């Protein structure tokens, strides 16, 4: 779908809302990585939400995107991106393309992003939108995210935007040595924990980064 045209004044207003979003929702909560902050200031979040929710695009909240999926609140996108410790040049696997917003933010920093989505319409729409925005270093595919993308492994970073009850072994196997995996883990009946795992040889070193709430990872 081509980008919708907007007036000059509307564009300025949305740019200002995006600037305030970064200052008030992200920097104020402790996100400091300049690469992440610049990506969040650059990517037009309003393009990744349904048109009737455009006025809410820069609110501090997740928003529905259809098929019982959501676009995460801006702070969570920034936090997860910072947690990956990207420096540029990395090969990243994203599980759960959704609207494509997180992939777009990652693509502003990483060398290449591989993104898997189980819902084909969401994947195809995200792919079209990313290309229309001039973001060409994201490769989208449809599949079971719990299995990763073995044909493209190993990855320098893996980020999961839906919560499995247990850490998928396939994703761990697709990490390069020294690579990082960021994933929310836990059932829907209670808060999940955001975890970061670093692969060191044949083992993983886990860090607990706090409570979060994500849609569940669905197999198949």
| pLDDT tens digit at each of 220 positions of the chain | 445 667 878 888 899 999 999 999 999 999 999 999 999 999 999 999 999 999 999 999 999 998 888 899 999 999 999 999 999 999 999 999 999 999 999 999 999 999 999 999 999 999 999 999 999 999 999 999 999 999 999 999 999 998 999 999 999 999 999 999 999 999 877 789 999 999 999 899 999 999 988 888 887 6
> What's residue 3's pLDDT?
57
Q: What is the pLDDT of residue 140?
A: 98
pLDDT of residue 7: 82
For 98-118, letters b (16+ CB in 10 Å) and e give bbbbbbbbbbbbbebbbbbbb
Specify if 175 maps to a domain: yes
Dihedral over Cα of 56, 63, 161, 197: its sign = positive
Given the residues 15, 56, 72, 132, select the one marked as catalytic: 72
Is 72 among the catalytic positions?
Answer: yes
Q: What is the pLDDT of residue 219?
A: 77
H/E segment holding residue 181:
strand 175-185
Residue 199 belongs to a domain: yes
Give a yes or no: residue 140 inside a domain: yes
Task: For the sheet with 192-200, list strands across it.
Answer: 138-142, 112-117, 91-95, 155-160, 175-185, 192-200, 203-212
Name the residue range of residue 107's domain.
8-212
Tally the domains of the chain.
1
Residue 2 lies in a domain: no
Instruction: Indicate which CATH number applies to the domain containing 147.
Output: 3.40.50.150
């Amino acid at each position: 779908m081509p980008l919708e045209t907007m007036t000059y004044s509307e564009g300025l207003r949305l740019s200002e809302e995006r600037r305030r979003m970064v200052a008030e929702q992200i920097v104020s909560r402790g996100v400091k990585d300049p690469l992440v902050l610049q990506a969040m200031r650059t990517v037009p979040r309003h393009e990744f939400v349904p048109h009737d929710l455009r006025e809410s695009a820069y609110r501090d909240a997740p928003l529905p995107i259809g098929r019982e999926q959501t676009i995460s609140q801006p702070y969570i996108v920034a936090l997860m991106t910072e947690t990956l410790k990207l420096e540029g040049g990395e090969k990243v696997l994203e599980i759960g393309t959704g609207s494509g917003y997180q992939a777009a933010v990652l693509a502003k920093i990483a060398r290449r992003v591989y993104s898997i989505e189980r819902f084909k319409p969401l994947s195809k729409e995200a792919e079209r939108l990313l290309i229309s925005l001039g973001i060409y270093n994201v490769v989208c595919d449809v599949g079971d995210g719990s299995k990763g993308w073995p044909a493209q492994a190993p990855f320098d970073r893996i980020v999961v935007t839906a919560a499995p009850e247990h850490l998928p072994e396939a994703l761990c196997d697709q990490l390069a040595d020294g690579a990082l995996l960021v994933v929310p883990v836990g059932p829907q009946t209670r808060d999940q924990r955001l975890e970061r795992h670093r692969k060191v040889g044949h083992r993983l070193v886990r860090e607990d980064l706090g409570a979060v709430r994500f849609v569940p990872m669905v197999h198949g």
